[in-house]
Amino acid sequence: MSALRFLLIAVLLAAGAAHAQGATPAEISFWESVRNSTNPDELRAYLQTYPNGVFKPLAEARLAALERKPAAAPQAKPGVPAVAATAPLVVGEKRMPRVGDSWTYRLSYPRLRGQWGQATRAPQNLKVEVSAVSDGQIADALSVDGATPVARSHGSAPTLLAQGASILSPYGLALGSLPAKGGRLGRIAITDCPSTFACEAKGRIAGQEAVEVPAGKFVATKVIIDQEWRPTQLISGAGRMTGGRTLTVWYVPEIGRAAKYESRVVVGDIPPFDSNFDLELVSFDPK
């Protein structure tokens, strides 16, 4: 029997065992995302997340096979800066941001179904650099397409704020904004809601998930925010101005910041701020 056929049979048996032994959908999804990977770190990430997982024997066998031969060098995407060579990232190891750390993101505005007649918006490059770190506080500065940086301070409370786009606390995982045992977030402060609107938000931790951005593929803590808004004045068209969005955030422990934001309007035609966007990490330069 060939090695490939043996491995296929083993995977099918393991998949059946997953249901029989009560593997969660999250574990099955995680394993499916890494089982054919040629990157040993992704298999280690599965083993770290599920040390007694159903697919542990297969993950260990594949990891051993990969480590017996030199790993192929990753191919950089055209026009996308690679993660700095001085930034060895260890999957799952939490890192507190330091003064001088910088992250580069790409902010894009996807054209969604039903959005007819809207002008195409060019993507923007956002660079964020840490200027100060203290107990429970991180100060940074944001530059959009090379413009003059704008300073901002971030605390430990979960907050929806404007920084290039309307996002959730970018250092939420590093500053302890997220519940240690998962579940629902407490009160979410909102600082970027216009004064003519009333805004509310609730959020929850959706577990761990592999996320791929131009900077690479990471194991992230996924957070989902449901935000609603309504105008505070009785004006014509108020019904179209009442709505909401879903904001999904992927926090990566080893980079000390969020690696991706995805925001989508779910109700309403006239949101009070840009609510359909993708913000993805392009590179990370630690100090």
Instruction: State whether 119 and 50 are in the same domain.
Output: no
What pLDDT, on the 0 to 100 scale, is given for residue 19? 47
Is the residue at 74 inside a domain?
no
Instruction: State whether 25 and 119 are in the same domain.
Output: no
Q: What is the mean pLDDT of residues 149-164?
A: 95
Place of tokens 């929806």: 160
Q: Looking at the chain, how many residues does it have?
A: 287
Instruction: State whether 167 and 29 are in the same domain.
Output: no
Structural domain of 141: 102-285
| Other C-beta atoms lying within 10 Å of the C-beta of residue 74 | 12
Selection from 261, 262, 250, 259 nearest residue 283 by Cα: 259
Write down the pTM of the prediction. Answer: 0.68
Q: Counting Cβ atoms within 10 Å, is residue 219 exposed (0-12), middle (13-18) or buried (19+)?
A: buried
Q: Round to whole Å and give the CA distance between 284 and 286.
A: 6
Residue type, 51: P
Q: Round to whole Å and give the CA distance between 262 and 284.
A: 19
Selection from 168, 189, 197, 166 nearest residue 273 by Cα: 166
What pLDDT, on the 0 to 100 scale, is given for residue 259? 96
Instruction: State whether 7 and 119 are in the same domain.
Output: no
Instruction: State whether 129 and 188 are in the same domain.
Output: yes
Is the residue at 77 inside a domain?
no
Instruction: State whether 63 and 118 are in the same domain.
Output: no
* Whole-Å CA distances, 263 to 80, 119, 195, 276: 22, 19, 21, 5
| Other C-beta atoms lying within 10 Å of the C-beta of residue 144 | 16
What pLDDT, on the 0 to 100 scale, is given for residue 87? 40
Q: What is the mean pLDDT of residues 227-233?
A: 91
Instruction: State whether 42 and 109 are in the same domain.
Output: no
Instruction: State whether 144 and 244 are in the same domain.
Output: yes
pLDDT surpasses 90 at 123: yes
Domain boundary among 13, 46, 67: 67
Each as own residue / partner, the long-range contacts of residues 71-74 (CB below 8 Å, 24 or more positions apart, any chain) are 71/38, 71/39, 71/40, 72/38, 74/216
Q: Are strands 102-108 and 243-252 parallel, antiparallel or unpaired?
A: unpaired
Alpha helices, H only, the chain:
3-20, 25-34, 40-49, 56-67, 238-241
Instruction: State whether 136 and 237 are in the same domain.
Output: yes
Instruction: State whether 218 and 270 are in the same domain.
Output: yes
Selection from 268, 264, 240, 263 nearest residue 250 by Cα: 263
Per-residue pLDDT tens for 10-66?
Answer: 544 455 454 445 577 777 878 788 777 788 888 888 888 888 888 888 888 887 877
Q: What is the mean pLDDT of residues 83-94?
A: 48
Q: What is the mean pLDDT of residues 177-204?
A: 88
The C-alpha torsion from 259 through 49 and 94 to 201, rounded to 10°, is: 50
Would you say 71 and 39 are in contact if contact means Cβ atoms under 8 Å apart?
A: yes
What pLDDT, on the 0 to 100 scale, is given for residue 16? 47
* Least confident stretch, 53-62, 166-175, 242-251: 53-62
Is the residue at 76 inside a domain?
no
DSSP state letters, 197-247? EEEEEEEEEEEEEEEEETTEEEEEEEEEEEEEEEESS--TTHHHH-EEEEE
Is the residue at 237 inside a domain?
yes
The CATH number assigned to the domain holding 125 equals: 2.40.360
* DSSP-derived 3-state class of residue 138: strand
Is the residue at 193 inside a domain?
yes
Instruction: State whether 118 and 248 are in the same domain.
Output: yes
Place of tokens 């630690």: 286
- Our separate counts of H helices and E strands in the chain read 5, 13
Number of domains the chain is built from: 2
Selection from 168, 123, 165 nearest residue 145 by Cα: 123
Domain boundary among 24, 52, 67: 67
Instruction: State whether 208 and 109 are in the same domain.
Output: yes
What pLDDT, on the 0 to 100 scale, is given for residue 80? 39
Domain boundary among 67, 94, 123: 67
Is the residue at 82 inside a domain?
no
Is the residue at 140 inside a domain?
yes
What pLDDT, on the 0 to 100 scale, is given for residue 9? 47
Is the residue at 25 inside a domain?
yes
